[in-house]
Amino acid sequence: MPYPLFNLEGRLALVTGSSQGIGFALAKGLAEHGAAVVINGRDRVKVDAAVGELAAAGLKAYASTFDVTDLAAVKAGVDGIETEIGPIDILVNNAGMQFRAPLEDFPEDRWQQLLQTNISSVFYAGQSVARHMIKRGRGKIINIGSVQSELARPSIAPYTATKGAVRNLTRGMCADWAKHGLQINAIAPGYFKTPLNHALMDNADFSAWLEKRTPAGRWGNVDELVGAAVFLAGDASSFVNGQVLHVDGGITASV
């Protein structure tokens, strides 16, 4: 049994965008520490495959397919989980996307897509889940930011804007909801080996630059985000609120 401060048994976690990558790693990690997890995404085949993988490992997992960029769908999905599966104790706002282009040529439709996927979804899911949590007087919300919540790089200015917004929305959620017994924090990953970063991982020049730029000297592995999530999801973080925890190999600590 996990140490009590990190024991998530009896708790239900909804992880958005969790059929693959960081979201799946976080869902699996929470489940390994006792939580039942709801895998979310838009692709039912991928969601069901992720649930099947967790179930095969003896972990408690459920499927919920809804589009986190559609407010009506989010409300219906959250209400459905609360009614059919159980009260959501932990929400991980993980759904996100990336698109790279010079800022002067950045397509307007991609700008809107980034806004909806990376920041509106955090507001939609956060508000929908918090309304239930507030009634119960408890709850954990973990928003997934990025080192780009603090830093910028060429060709991803809109992404950087959305992740900066996640950082401050986390603080705003804390300011409004901490009085109701909720803890809202964010994890800011550095550069991790994920499908979102395939283009960068395949770029030998970028990988060499990143390894030099990061004090740890390497890419992160998604499993290395689990400890931060378990800490923020459990009783160990009962007085931690409105904070951003960087898991980045030191890249934001060094010039």
Task: Please name each of the domains of the chain with its CATH number.
Answer: 4-253 (3.40.50.720)
Q: Where residue 1 falls among pLDDT bands split at 50, 70, 90? A: low
Q: What is the pLDDT of residues 123-159, one digit of tens each?
A: 999 999 999 999 999 999 999 999 999 999 999 999 9
Q: Where residue 58 falls among pLDDT bands split at 50, 70, 90? A: very high
Structure token digits, residue 81:
């989980």
Q: What is the pLDDT of residues 197-236, one digit of tens each?
A: 888 888 999 999 999 999 999 999 999 999 999 999 999 9
* Annotation says 159 is catalytic: yes
> Where are any strands of DSSP class E within 35-169?
36-41, 61-65, 90-93, 139-144
pTM for the full predicted model: 0.96
pLDDT exceeds 80 at position 2: no
CA dist list (Å): 204 to 194, 198, 200, 209, 220: 16, 12, 8, 9, 16
Q: What is the pLDDT of residues 86-116, one digit of tens each?
A: 999 999 999 999 999 999 999 999 999 999 9
Bigger pLDDT: 77 vs 194: 77
Query: What's the mean pLDDT in 41-61?
Result: 98
pLDDT of residue 255: 86
SS3 18: coil
Which is catalytic among the residues 62, 124, 159, 191?
159
Instruction: With CA atoms as reference, report the closest residue to 147 among 235, 246, 234.
Output: 246
